[in-house]
Amino acid sequence: MDFRTGRYLKRMAELVGMTSKAYGIDISLGMLEVTKKRLKKAGLMDRVELYCEDALQIPYEDDMFDAIFMSFTLELFDTPEIPIVLEEARRVLKPNGRLGIVSISNEDGESIPLRVYKWAHQNFPKHIDCRPIYVEKSIKNAGYEVRCKERVKMFGFPIEIVIAINSKEVIKSRFFFSI
């Protein structure tokens, strides 16, 4: 698995083809620049729109996207903000839109690597700015229907990959990513 900045936005830009667009937001200008370089190198900038924005207030109209993908994004938000981000995602998803989340999981919270990571986050939050979360539980609590989930390990850390549906109907292909 390769979850480097902009990697999956690049892939979605390839998939949407010439007739549609993929959209990406990040609160970090630095991350947007990394993504922009990756997309330019691949010749895909014409298929993507990038914005420096906050996922707590997604700058798109209601029911705009068929799918939203967030890779290592939710765990950057404070626990009370996660439902807000998921509600914003719900707002901009079309009926039956798909939500894909990849995050560090807190489900097996007692593993040694995870305990060390949590300790580092608690003691050095400026350097370790995210922490494990209950991914599937958060998505279900936000009212999404989980369709599939997978747990994998990355550098010894538990990762959850969850695909969920926003109980509405799909119309047109546009994708939104948090990079």
Domain ranges in the chain? 7-104+133-178
How many residues appear in the chain? 179
Q: Which regions of the chain does DSSP assign to beta strands (E)?
A: 22-26, 48-52, 65-71, 93-104, 145-154, 157-166, 175-178
What pLDDT score does 170 carry? 40
CB-based contact 45:11 (threshold 8 Å): no
Kindly report, residue by residue over 120-168, the tens digit of the pLDDT.
Answer: 888 988 888 888 899 999 999 999 999 999 999 888 888 999 999 997 5
Say how far apart CA 42 and CA 59 lie, in whole Å: 26
Please state the CATH superfamily assignment of the domain spanning residues 7-104+133-178 in this structure: Vaccinia Virus protein VP39 (3.40.50.150)
Say how far apart CA 16 and CA 173 lie, in whole Å: 7
Mean pLDDT of 65-92: 93
Say how far apart CA 47 and CA 168 lie, in whole Å: 26
What pLDDT score does 163 carry? 97
Longest dimension (CA), the chain: 48
Question: Residue written as tokens 């539980």?
Answer: 137
